[in-house]
Structure 1
């Protein structure tokens, strides 16, 4: 039996978000708000009135594993509290305005973008690469996070 959205997140922190609110928050999922992509969908930057700045991972449900990934990710992240992990705010399992199934996970926005952009800056950015000490600190933080997730 498939879990419902309300079973995926803790009741005390569950904020209900509609497809329309996510559509407005991302300026209709505009490419100018696209900040990343994964095997199961796209990640957009947005702003929600009741939450503030967020990242919205919209699943590509054409991919056969997307719905299962959505449920697994919500279950895995609902109780995680670690300074190096993005906090899940809520999820949306709905129908879009064309009648298609729609699923998205809403996270707090990472203010410093993603680690890959800091470790491997493109030639268009003015960021300098991390020095050895900064890279060591990143490695220790990653190890701490993996330890937390494992145990």
Structure 2
């Protein structure tokens, strides 16, 4: 009896392992080079800087070959924990698909022109600002419009 239960359990586990995982990155993942990202962001220009976080900076860019507007998150690999953050973010996007998440277009992991390790995540650009701006930026007039009239 225990042998049959173990056999059924092993078959169930094997079936779970072989099930496809949905992903926000489809099979038609873009293939970009360091030069493409450099050109798209105008040399990672401060004029194209969207924001800076704990482990990286995000730049707006336009891919020359198809005119796609992208957000390029460049990891600061000299910061402790940046590589782990990169790996975790890649794993998360590999295993999750949701309509309210930014679409990850591709992952770049190679070297820059000086041979220094370079890692970046290329996302579809969201042109309406950040979630933080939407949640926390109240202008006086819009805030006053939310108050009840007396």
TM-score by length of structure 2 reads: 0.71
Q: Highest Rg: 1 or 2?
A: 2
**Which of the residues 82, 87, 90 maps onto 2:98?**
82
Q: Once superposed, which parts of structure 1, at least 4 consecutive aligned residues long, lie more than 6 Å away?
A: none
Report the Cα offset of residue 64 of structure 1.
2.2
Counterpart check, 1:69 vs 2:94: no
| Deviation (angstroms), 1:128 | 3.5
Name the counterpart of 2:41.
Answer: 26
The separation in 2 between residues aligned to 1:32 and 1:122, in whole angstroms, is 25
CA RMSD of aligned residues (A): 2.7
Which stretches in structure 1 are left out of the alignment for 5+ residues? 1-8, 133-151
Provide the rounded CA distance (Å) in 2 between the counterparts of 1:86 and 1:61. 23
User: Matched residue pairs, number?
Assistant: 123
Partner of 1:59: 75
Residue 55 of structure 2 is aligned to residue 47 of structure 1? no
Alpha carbons of structure 1 residues 18 and 120: separation in structure 2 relative to 1, 3 Å:
same
SS at match of 1:22: helix
